[in-house]
């Protein structure tokens, strides 16, 4: 498992008054530090240690989001009246419902 492929983020925590390092694939982990660089280094070190521990205990390790294959398809359940309204918008614009919804999600 290459921890370089995980999704890391550093943000400011107003509550803590420090930078907060996060890893999307491990939402329960975080690291607080006075600089962005230290927060990133800290969360990377924590993830490394957790992955090593998981490997040692033969636990399943989360796959990095960057390494996953995405089909470009997913189902969304919406109320019938919303479906109708979107279908009408698509028809008025002379485009497919799929194209309309894709554009709305991207925007």
Predicted TM-score (pTM) of the model is: 0.75
CA distance 104 to 90: 11
Number of structural domains the chain divides into:
2
**Do both 13 and 56 map to the same domain?**
yes
**Do both 59 and 35 map to the same domain?**
yes
Hey, what are 11's tokens?
A: 């943000």
Nearest to 29 by CA among 1, 2, 48, 5: 48
Residue 47 CB neighbour total at 10 angstroms: 21
25-76: per-residue pLDDT in tens?
999 999 999 999 999 999 999 999 999 999 999 999 999 999 999 999 999 9
Range of the domain at 57: 3-66
**Do both 15 and 51 map to the same domain?**
yes
Where in the chain does DSSP place strands (E)?
8-13, 18-23, 30-33
């Amino acid at each position: 498992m290459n921890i370089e492929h995980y999704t890391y983020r550093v943000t400011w925590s107003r509550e803590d008054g420090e930078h907060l390092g996060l890893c999307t694939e491990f939402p329960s982990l975080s690291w607080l530090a006075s600089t962005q660089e230290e927060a990133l280094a800290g969360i990377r070190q924590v993830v490394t240690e957790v992955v090593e521990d998981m490997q040692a205990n033969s636990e399943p390790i989360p796959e990095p989001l960057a390494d996953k294959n995405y089909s470009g398809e997913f189902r969304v359940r919406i109320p019938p009246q919303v479906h109708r309204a979107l279908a009408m918008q698509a028809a008025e614009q002379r485009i497919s419902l799929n194209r309309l919804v894709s554009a709305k999600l991207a925007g």
